[in-house]
Structures are given as structure tokens and as C-alpha cells.
Structure 1
């Protein structure tokens, strides 16, 4: 083997090993950060008044969820699926952890594998009217950040829609309900000076099978643009005693056309 080829192979091996070490360090650093935030999130025992009277579809959903016998202060979910940022893009494998509470709070950590070598992590949080998303290459190199009032309202709408996983939130006095017809219930959640709206949709059996919102925004180039958004339940199942959607799709409408941004399954859930 010519000496130059041997040198090139040696350099390649060093680069591969260095990259693997960098990726491992970045992911370990990201995981440690998330664990610290998770502990603070779970240790927050704040409560809010509950609503005594609820629309029929909401009360029925809470009852069928099994919440009365399986209460919790924090719900931790592990999700696996795919994600794509825009229509026509190749779906990337998605692995995520979500922490939810019976209050308008959310912590979300995700890992996206762009290819066999490159991966991105995203850390999203919502609390007390503020939201933030941080994107990190290999879990350590900052590549972007989103915050501001429009994003906070968008995340608050998402927190409310995730009430399908988090039924302990749905009877919060911070939510005002209005039945639009026999199949649709409008819900407005208030958190301080911030409010967001979604519409819950039921099927013939009375199950809530979709949530839509026009208060959500999605990143387009270097700005945030309002866009219709929809959470669709594919299948229900049981996780740690709670009945919840175990497979779902999140759909955005861009340029008048819907596309599936994420499609995932709840691999596990744990009540704390």
C-alpha cells in the first residue's frame, strides 16, 4: 500500500474517532442539562384551581382516561417517530422525551438524526407565559434559538392540545370552554396575560380524536409565520394506567397544503 494512502487512512480514522468522541460528549452534555431541568420541573408542586363543570366531551374524555384512579404530579413520555421541517423534505428519525404537568407547563427534549453522522438536539420549554426553543448540533453547538410572545402563545396552544396526553390539565380553571356543536369544543387557556385557543374534535363514539389551532407559528427561514396546525390521533392505548393517544400525527398547513410534520408513537409513559 502506498505511504500516501496509509496516511490518508490514518487521518480518516482519527477524524472518525474524534467525531464519535465529540458526538458522545455533546449528547452526554445535553442529557445532563435535560436531567437537571427535569428535576426542577418535577419538583415544582404548584397547583391551580380546578373547574367543577366541564362540557360533555371533555368530562367524558377525562373519565375514560382513568385519571381518577391514576393521578400524577408530572407525566413523563418517551416518543419515537419521524419529523420533517417542511413539505417534501425527507423525514428524520425522531426520539423525544416530554414532561407535562396539571398546569400550563411543558419541557420537551428531542434528538433528530439528519443522517448516519449528523444529529441535532432541540430543547423546548414553556412556563409562566414564556417559551424557548434551543437547537444544538450534536447536543452542544448552538445553531438557533426561538423565543418571544408569538412563540410563547404557540407553545401554550400546544400545551393545551397535549391535554389529550395530559388529562389532569383539562379540568384546570385556567381553561374556558364553549361547545360549538355536537362534535367540536372550543377551549381557551389563560396563563397570566397570555391566552391561546384550540378546538377539540370528537368522533361518532365521543372520543376526542383531533385538536386544531390557529394560534400556532412555525419557523420559515428566519421568521415565524402563523399557520394552521392539527394534532390527529391515530390510535389509543394504555400507558402506566392512563388511556391516551399512543400514535399521533402533527400536521401543518403551508401555502394552503397540509403536510405531516411529525408522526410518532408513545413508547412509554411514567406517572410521577
Structure 2
């Protein structure tokens, strides 16, 4: 028996982002729910969610999933830092934004991955629309590595845009190896309290998070993971999710398991609107 997903938004807070193509991008049927709804098992099927959704599987989504409205607000930019140029792409409101989303790519990616309107089932295009239509800002960035230099570059980007939108919560989404950046940001005593949430997509775990500034500030965490992920086994990530809840049963953490999904499935399937509204309500 499938379970219906209900978005829980605090009664005193209006949703951060308004509906946009929810009927196309909301999670398929739920197979199971646990931990008072913090753990969800989603019915993912490659035949439906890739081959019926894409005109060219994994390369070109069907037109109804895409709206190119955000392109008028999209700019390929560069910041000058002590370590050199920092190329990045921005979509939406660059000053006084209501919220900021930063996408950190994984191994082999670059700033254009998270701006591609047609791959990953059009899910990045939906995120661009959510930012552009709700006075938000969406950023992707090229960084040098997943070590200290890369962490410093992502921090610099966040710092510069927070100066222009000081009241905006910052949500950092990290795909695969990009999780190393997310976990490093969680340790920053100045930045962590200002984060609106960390979104780990097919990524890994970091036990040091349990002693981090972000954990102490109760920064919301979202894990999206495919049950057939061969890069980062889901069993270890689920165990890490349980360890967070064990240390703080009321901690704002959510785990979405995509049944039969592979390493890249969470990027295709994460419900951006649901996730941002949940994080914005806690």
C-alpha cells in the first residue's frame, strides 16, 4: 500500500517557494515511511522515470518538463580572488534575494552541470525556475578540488553573495564527491549558523558532523540516495542518518531512499520545492 507525501510547513511560516510543475516533479508513490516521516522509501523505476520521461534517455528530457523562462535571468560570471578567477553561473535575483541555493558538483563535473536545462530529467531546470520565480538566487561554481582550496573557493562565493542578500538562508546542495565540500562547510563556526540546510545527493557521510558547528546550530540535512548506488553504499549512509537521530531524535534530518535507483538518481529525482520548503520551515 502506497503512502501519500504531505509537505509539513510551519503554521506561522509561508512556503519559501510556490508550486511549479509539482505534478511532474513530486515524488512518485511512497513505499514506506519511518522515523515519523523523516525516512521515506520512494518508488523509483527507470522505465518510467528515465525512458518515459526523456526523449533521449539521460541526455534530453521531453519538452513539457522544461521552461526556459529563467534564461533571461542567467549570467555566466567570474569573481577575482587571491587564488585567481572563480567562474560561476547565477540565475535569479543577485541582490536582496529571498534565498540562495548553491549546487556543488561531483567528480568530473563543472559549473555547467547544474545549469543544464535538459539533463537529469529537467530537474535542474525546475530548480532554476523555482529560484527565478520566487525572488531567489541559484548558483553553480567551478572550484579547483575537493580539498581545502575548493572549500575556500565555495566559501568565498557564498560570502560574496550573502553580502548582497544578508537575510537570505543559504542552501548548499552537494552531489557525490561534492559532499566533501558540504561537510567542510558544516565545520565553519562563522558560516554554519547561517546555512539554511545541506542537501546530500548520492553523496557520502562524515562522522565528524556530529561534533560540528552545523550540528550544534541544528542545520537541516537532506539525504537522497539510490538503493543500488555502487559508489557510496546506501547501508552506510542510512546508518549515518540513524546515528544523527540517535544523538538528537528531534534533529531536522530527512532521508529519501529511491528504490532501485543508481548513483545519479537523487539528482534526477529530488523534489527541490518540497526540500527547500521543509528546510525553510524548521
Same fold (TM over 0.5): no
Q: TM-score, normalised by structure 1?
A: 0.28
Query: Relative to total residues, which structure has the larger strand share, 1 or 2?
Result: 1
Query: Relative to total residues, which structure has the larger helix share, 1 or 2?
Result: 2
Q: Which has the higher contact order (CA 8 A, sep 6+)?
A: 2
Q: TM-score, normalised by structure 2?
A: 0.28
